[in-house]
Amino acid sequence: MISPAPDAEVFAALADPTRWQVLSLVAQGGGATATTLAGELPVSRVAVVKHLGVLDRAGLVESRRAGREVRFAARPARLEETARWMSGVAAEWDDRLARLKRLAESAGPETATEQEAR
């Protein structure tokens, strides 16, 4: 019922729309580099490097050196873990709201007492 949140860094990393785009492009594969990503986005290479740094610290991408270049690949595990946790929280709300609905719509003695009290 009560579970701890995953690393908040994942949320923070994904809160920025440009960073989302960077991650989406990296996830398409092909060993993206900061240079190729900057070519596909309306931001500078320096900005792309910063975004990649945030994504790396959040465990969402991994880098590997290939000659003079650093190539990036997505690490889906962290994203899946966070998505799973979020759907768990959403499911808890569905359960709670279903209980609230049942309680509100029930015509048990509790309801009668409450209506009398009004």
Partner 1 sequence: MQDTIEREVEIAAPVDRVWALVTEAEHLGTWFADAGAEIDLKPGGELSLTWAENGTSRGRVERVEPPTTFAFRWASVGEFSEENSTLVEFTLSEHDRGTRVHVLESGFASLPKSAEDQVAHHAGNTEGWKIELGHLAEYAERSAA
Q: Does 77 bind partner 1 (CB under 8 A)?
A: no
Q: How far apart are CA 61 and CA 72, in angstroms?
A: 7
- The nearer residue to partner 1, 44 or 87, going by C-beta atoms, is 87
Q: How many residues bind partner 1 (CB under 8 A)?
A: 36
Binding residue for partner 1 (CB under 8 A) from 2, 67, 108, 116?
A: 2
Alpha-carbon distance of 114 to 63, in angstroms, equals: 62
Of the candidates 11, 31, 16, the residue with the CA atom closest to the CA atom of residue 74: 31
Q: Which of 12, 66, 77, 112 binds partner 1 (CB under 8 A)?
A: 12
- Bridge partners of 53, per DSSP, are none
| C-alpha to C-alpha distances, 5 to 37, 81, 98, nearest whole angstrom | 31, 10, 23
Q: Which is nearer to partner 1, 42 or 105 (CB)?
A: 105
Which residue's entry shows tokens 């740094």?
53
82 binds partner 1 (CB under 8 A): yes
Q: Which residues of this chain interact with partner 1, rule CB under 8 A?
A: 1-12, 14-15, 20, 79, 82-83, 86, 89-90, 93-94, 96-105, 111, 114, 118
